[in-house]
Each structure stands twice: as C-alpha cells, then as structure tokens.
Amino acid sequence: MEKTRNLEYRLLIIILLINIFYSYIFFVVPEVIIFSFVVFVPVSIYALKYTIDSKLIICMLLVELSIYLFYGIESFVLYSILIIIPVLIISYLIRQRMSFAKSAAFFSMILFVCILVAGILLKHFFNVDVASGYFNYIDLIKTNFINIYEEFIKFNINSKQEYTMVMESVNNVLYYMKYYFPAITYLLCMGVAFISIMSIRIVGNKLGLFKFNIKNIIYFNVSRKMLIFLIAIYCIHEFIINTNSYVYIAIDNMLLILMVMLFLLGILLELFMIKKVRNAGKRMLYIAILIFCLIFFQAYFIIVGFIDSLFHLRRKLNNA
C-alpha cells in the first residue's frame, strides 16, 4: 500500500515538473505544441492507473497557478485551452478504453476545436491574430528565399524559362501553405493525436495497463461513412461556381484532409501486402511499386486507400 502511494506521488511530481518545463519552452517557442504528447502521456497513464482524482486536479491547478503568476493571464488562457483541457479529455478517453481509431479521430477534433477557440479568444480579447501571424511567417519565408537563393538559382539554371518555372513552383507551394492553413492545422492535430494515443498505449502496455501491439497499427482503418462524406462534399465542390467563397475554400480544405487520410491508408495496405507475402520475389516487387509510386505517382495510394476503405481489403486478406 505504501509502495503504491509512493509511486502515485512520484508520478504526480513527474507530471508537475514536465508541465513546468514544457510550459516554459511553449511560451518561448510556440511551435513545440506539436510535442504536447509529452504532457498528455504521463497524465493519461496516471488517470488510467488510478483515476482522474482530486490529487491530479490539484496538480494541474498548481501548473495553472504558476503559469498565471509567472506569465500572465494571456498565457494562462492559452495553456488552459491548448494543453490542460485536451489532457483531461484524452485521459477520460483512455479510461473509457475506446478503440484506437475512434480515440485518435475524436481527439484530433478536440485538439482542432481547442486551437480554433484559442485563436478566437486571442484575437478578440488580446488582439493577437494567429492566422495573420502564420501568413506573415509564410511571407517571411518567401522574402528570405528570394534574398538568399534567387541569385544562386539564376546563375545555376540553364535558361530563363527554367528559372521562371522554379520560382513559380516556390510561389505555388507557399500560396497553398496559406490556402490550406485550416487543413494543415487539422493534419497536425491528427499527427499529435495519433502519436499521443499510440505512446499512451505503448507505455500502458509496458505497465500492464493495456494490451497493445504496435504491429496492429498496420490494420488501422476508417469507416465507410468517411467515403460517403468524401463523395458528398466532392459533388458539392463541383457544383459551386464561386471559387473564392468561404464554402468552396472550406470544402477544398476538407478534401485535402480526406485525401491525405486515404493516401496513408494506401501506404498501410502496401505495407500489409509486403508483410503478408512470403515469396521474396513478390515482396521485392511490392517494395519497388511502393518506392516508385511514392516518387512518381502519389495518386496511386489515394486510389488504393479508397478501395481498401470501401472493401476492407486488409481485414479480409488477414482472415483469408
């Protein structure tokens, strides 16, 4: 009993120290939000092993109090919305023992909503526009690229036409980084959610709190409802005339998110086939197809991912 209690308090101290260290870095370099799983994992493990009890709540309140005292109300609100609320939600999800796919999908949406709410509050109450800051950052990248690499590219490319094509490609990439800002944000949320859930399950498995085999990630799949949603919004997309409308831009961003998901599912199917095939020659063929398509024909994975999601090929082939 005493040993268990000591372990509990040690874990709480670890949670407190990680939050203090992480919050300090977070307010200096906000980009470290993509590593927020380092906060999510120990809190979730505590909640899984014990519960979301008063000790954990007090620990998080101490973190909040220290942030308010040292960094001010703006940082307090920001950390509360982007870290504290998500960490309590993911802890609850883990305790409910939801499936990996459902946990990752739901937590991705929670993170995205939290970022959206934080952005709105910062703009209206603290006069900090996150979107404008992101766009200015992209413009700064463009300016730095032109200042540093323009002359180099100009003198190392054979023709003016090639130079123009290179500069147009750079401008297009930076334009789409602005245009797909919501989609990029959501995909980052997906990545953080996926890594967080997987890390919690791996650690939980080591501690005997979870039964989880990382090799089962290869069977990760999505519902057919996602495909219906994809087809529906694609049809709506094609009927919209005003391409500058917010609805059109929102649908474009949703399509990108869904395409990336299908792309990843297509890669998982190819990895599954490589694992499934015993013949060395066929395995090398699948690896060659995988590498070739990754370089020259990325749309192949979207098509394969769509077919896999529609017919659940990996599940059927695994049971065969």
pLDDT in tens, 239-268: 887 878 888 888 999 999 989 989 988 888
pLDDT at 28: 84
Largest CA distance in the chain: 77
Distance CA 25, CA 47 (A): 25
Alpha carbon distances (Å) from 161 to 7, 146, 166, 168, 203: 67, 17, 9, 11, 54
pLDDT at 86: 93
pTM: 0.87
Distance CA 172, CA 169 (A): 5
Q: How far apart are the first and last CA of the chain?
A: 49
310 and 235 within one domain: yes
234 and 176 within one domain: no
138 and 5 within one domain: yes
Coil vs helix vs strand at 98: coil
Both tokens of 255, joined, read 């399509």
104 and 29 within one domain: yes
318 and 183 within one domain: no
14 and 111 within one domain: yes
Domain final position from 167, 184, 212: 212
Domain that holds residue 287: 219-320
pLDDT at 189: 93
207 and 223 within one domain: no
pLDDT at 156: 63
Residue type for position 151? E
pLDDT at 180: 92
Segments of the chain with pLDDT less than 50: none
Q: CB of 14 within 8 A of CB of 57?
A: no
59 and 105 within one domain: yes
Distance CA 251, CA 90 (A): 28
Phi then psi dihedrals of residue 117, to 5 deg: -65, -45
Domain final position from 212, 240, 259: 212
Alpha carbon distances (Å) from 201 to 4, 23, 58, 65: 21, 24, 25, 30
pLDDT at 150: 65
In this structure, the chain runs to a length of: 320
Domain tally, the chain: 2
pLDDT at 113: 93
